[in-house]
A = this chain, B = another copy of it.
């Protein structure tokens, strides 16, 4: 089961040695608690002290298992990728496979409040994540894209997925403590606002006002993917 170790990336931050603990505090338990706090308090309320409190433990105890908050965030980010299945590349279905990869990513980001914010400040090039990068790259390269496009496509797709989900979650967070009623009021207010802009100065915004305040994020995400993939597909066969 144990594969040969992937050498640690030179830019990754040095880890604390994984000391086998008999009992309680482990990195995993800390990460679990961190997610609990994140979901309850949001990103701005995610503090080492809150995590420690969640575990009924002194703050300083955390630092024996985790080098600091940065590493904790990194570990949370890694959680995102745990247990995702990586299908074998099927050149005939590369577009659908890419979309599935993106959909899965967005879904996982949405599982935890403010997760997109954490994800955005991480660079997915640590050793643990290489298999996923490799897999996406495999799917894209199997489609017959030129290497210079393939090398960028992963970034492009990830940036869209994370950025889109981040924007989604910012809106969501902004109206977090609003009841259904005032949220609907707000929505129609926004729509009215766009529609009521001076049409001579904002003709285009007014024209698409209905579409912009439309809340079908799923559709918008699908369309965004389709646009990018069409762009990628236009390079198939090029050198």
Interface residues of A (CB under 8 A from B): 3-4, 6-7, 9-11, 117, 120-121, 123, 130-131, 133-134, 137-138, 141, 147-153, 155-156, 159-160, 162-164, 166-167, 170-171, 174, 186, 189-190, 193, 196-198, 201-205, 207-208, 211-212, 220, 223-224, 226-232, 234-235
Determine how close the nearest CB of chain B comes to the CB of A118; give it in whole angstroms: 12
B227→A190 contact, CB < 8 A: no
Name the B residues within 8 Å of A153 (CB-CB): 227
A207→B11 contact, CB < 8 A: no
Once the chains are docked, how many angstroms separate the CA of A221 from the CA of B147?
16
B4→A208 contact, CB < 8 A: no
| Given A130-B197, A133-B205, A167 and B151 contact (CB-CB distance below 8 Å) | no
- 20 residue pairs of the A-B complex, CB under 8 angstroms, read A6-B197, A6-B198, A7-B197, A123-B170, A134-B204, A134-B205, A137-B208, A147-B208, A148-B211, A151-B208, A151-B211, A152-B220, A153-B227, A155-B224, A156-B160, A156-B228, A159-B167, A162-B163, A230-B235, A231-B232
Once the chains are docked, how many angstroms separate the CA of A149 from the CA of B224?
8
Once the chains are docked, how many angstroms separate the CA of A231 from the CA of B226?
8
A159→B150 contact, CB < 8 A: no
Once the chains are docked, how many angstroms separate the CA of A172 from the CA of B123?
12
Name the B residues within 8 Å of A123 (CB-CB): 167, 170-171
Once the chains are docked, how many angstroms separate the CA of A186 from the CA of B9?
11
Contact of A150 among B162, B170, B202, B208 (CB under 8 A): B208
Determine how close the nearest CB of chain B comes to the CB of A14; give it in whole angstroms: 14
Name the B residues within 8 Å of A7 (CB-CB): 193, 196-197
